[in-house]
Homo-oligomer: A and B are copies of this chain.
Amino acid sequence: MILVSTQPIDVPSVLAAVEGPGEGGVVLFLGRVRHEARGQAVQRLDYEAYGDMALDELKSLAGEAQRLHGASRVALVHRTGSLEVGELAVAIAVSAPHRKEAFVACEWLIDTLKRRVPIWKKEWYADGSQWIAEHP
């Protein structure tokens, strides 16, 4: 399951996508909209994606996690559009025969997604908004 969508993220289906009889360990990362960022109260976030390229990049990340980091199955879902505080922005699930690989691959995926996938967030505060440039 590799998805960039305005629909709310369905965590059970993300987890179901990485199930397998030989996969003893599953690690899931969830990124949620926080009520605070850069010292300011956040009211909501807008996420914009270059959809087709973001999907291609997510697919290539999934492949690298399998080839280079020991992941068996990978699910990557990123939400776009307007999100309230507490909503899920991203979900990444990785299964592997043993837990160590699942932890390493999952953390590598979120770190690399944040650097490489063409998705942008705009933070809305009481008195304005700004596009965030986290990874030049």
A35 partner residues in chain B, CB cutoff 8 A: 21-22
Shortest CB-to-CB span from A94 to chain B, Å, is 11
Bin the interface of chain A by size: 20 to 34
Task: Tell whether, in the assembled complex, residue A99 and residue B31 are in contact, meaning their CB atoms are under 8 Å apart.
Answer: yes
A97 partner residues in chain B, CB cutoff 8 A: 34
Which residues of A21-47 are within 8 A (CB) of B? Answer: 21-36
Stretch with Cβ within 8 A of B (4 or more), from A11-19, A59-67, A127-135? A11-19
Copies in the complex: 2
Instruction: Report the separation of the CA atoms of residues A61 and B110 in the bound assembly, to the nearest whole angstrom.
Output: 26
Shortest CB-to-CB span from A109 to chain B, Å, is 11
A34 partner residues in chain B, CB cutoff 8 A: 21-24, 97
A24 to chain B: closest residue by CB: B34
Shortest CB-to-CB span from A8 to chain B, Å, is 14
Instruction: Report the separation of the CA atoms of residues A110 and B41 in the bound assembly, to the nearest whole angstrom.
Output: 34
- Enumerate the 5 nearest inter-chain pairs by beta-carbon distance, A residue then B residue, closest first: A26-B30, A28-B28, A24-B34, A21-B35, A103-B107
